Amino acid sequence: MPNLTPSPISDQEIAKLKESALFSEKGKTKFSSRILVIGGFLTAEQLREIATFATRYGDGTVHLTTRQGVEIPHISYEKLSLFKRAIEKSSLRSAQSGKCVRAITACPGTYCKFGTIDTQLLAQELFKRFGNRKNLPHKFKIAVSGCKHCCSKPQENDLGVMGVGNFAVFVGGMAGKTPRWGDRLSFDIKEKSKLFNIIDAIIKWYENNGNDKERFGTTIERVGLTNLLEYLKSLQ
Ligand code: SF4
């Protein structure tokens, strides 16, 4: 039976909690917490902490998201303050939500026999450099794959990096209601420093050209891929 108890929590408070990656569930009396995971990688200690928090604050279950994230569901509103304090003291961090660069997904190309780049290191480096980019037109998802098998789906992210010995970059991909396959930039990139500069420029172009709540792929459709490519060329 659905929970028909009226929610005591205001919409403003629910929106505020969402900024801390606490998402209200049906009925608006329980919350799911999204934990930050980069490249799908967690230590055994972090898994133990997640298990402890899921047992102590939720109902003992954990949900894995399609983008390698971990969610602790069914945390009651009354336990949220204690839960937030426990997370702050742990080795875990809450995921980012809203109009920002989201957690970066990556395949295990670092040790997969097909991997041509160190995907896990690159995901960490990308998050360190770009994870603080906020106030974008919309959310911005980045994925890294170690080879052409594309296990982490770089073409379905706002920005995808694929290892081909060098780095191939895809822009403007997205899933959701209006899926779009990312466009591969016409050039591959050899040096990591150049890759970082190009990603920085791509995000700047999106900041300058994207309308509010417009996904990157839609901005590319509206303004034109040629415009983005010319902008990137002008910086070289
Ligand atoms: S994309 Fe390639 S390197 Fe990465 S896990 Fe798949 S097969 Fe391995």
Q: What is the pTM of this model?
A: 0.94
Count CB atoms within 10 A of the CB of residue 211.
11
CA gap 15, 58 in Å, rounded: 20
Residue to mutate (ligand 1; options 117, 119, 147, 148; most atoms within 8 A of CB): 147
CATH of the domain at 115: 3.30.413.10
Cα(109) to ligand 1 centroid in Å equals 5
Q: Which of 67, 31, 62, 64 is nearest to 49 (CA)?
A: 62
> Does some domain include residue 144?
yes
For the stretch 24-63, pLDDT in tens is: 999 889 999 999 999 999 999 999 999 999 999 999 999 9
Cβ of 105 closer than 6 Å to ligand 1, yes or no, is: no
Q: Among the atoms of ligand 1, which is closest to the Cα of residue 145? A: 1
Do 85 and 131 sit in the same domain of this protein? Answer: no
> Does some domain include residue 94?
no
Q: Which of 89, 117, 141 delimits the end of a domain?
A: 89
> Does some domain include residue 2?
no
Cα(130) to ligand 1 centroid in Å equals 23
Q: Which of 26, 55, 89 delimits the end of a domain?
A: 89
Cα(149) to ligand 1 centroid in Å equals 6
> Does some domain include residue 98?
no
> Does some domain include residue 99?
no
C-alpha dist (Å) from residue 72 to 5, 36, 150, 178 = 22, 11, 28, 28
Cα(114) to ligand 1 centroid in Å equals 6
Q: Among the atoms of ligand 1, which is closest to the Cα of residue 116? A: 3
Q: Which of 96, 205, 107, 109 is nearest to 141 (CA)?
A: 96
Give the pLDDT confidence score for residue 80 in this predicted structure: 96
Q: Which of 89, 120, 143 delimits the end of a domain?
A: 89
Do 200 and 139 sit in the same domain of this protein? Answer: yes
Cα(145) to ligand 1 centroid in Å equals 6
Cα(176) to ligand 1 centroid in Å equals 24
Cβ of 150 closer than 6 Å to ligand 1, yes or no, is: yes
Do 149 and 219 sit in the same domain of this protein? Answer: yes
Cα(160) to ligand 1 centroid in Å equals 14
Do 85 and 110 sit in the same domain of this protein? Answer: no
For the chain, the domain total comes to 2
Cβ of 147 closer than 6 Å to ligand 1, yes or no, is: yes
- CB-based contact 160:154 (threshold 8 Å): yes
The DSSP output letter for 160 is E
> Does some domain include residue 5?
no
Joined together, the tokens standing for residue 73 give 């569901």
The terminus-to-terminus CA distance of the chain in angstroms comes to: 60
**pLDDT tens-digit profile, the chain (236 residues):** 555 555 578 999 999 999 889 999 998 899 999 999 999 999 999 999 999 999 999 999 999 999 999 999 999 999 999 999 999 999 999 998 999 999 999 999 999 999 999 999 999 999 999 999 999 999 999 999 999 999 999 999 999 999 999 999 999 999 999 999 999 999 989 999 999 999 999 999 999 999 999 999 999 999 999 999 999 999 87
Do 132 and 71 sit in the same domain of this protein? Answer: no
Residue to mutate (ligand 1; options 111, 116, 149, 153; most atoms within 8 A of CB): 149
Give residue 213's domain range.
105-234
Q: Among the atoms of ligand 1, which is closest to the Cα of residue 109? A: 3
Beta 159-164 vs 142-145: how paired, if at all?
parallel
Do 78 and 182 sit in the same domain of this protein? Answer: no
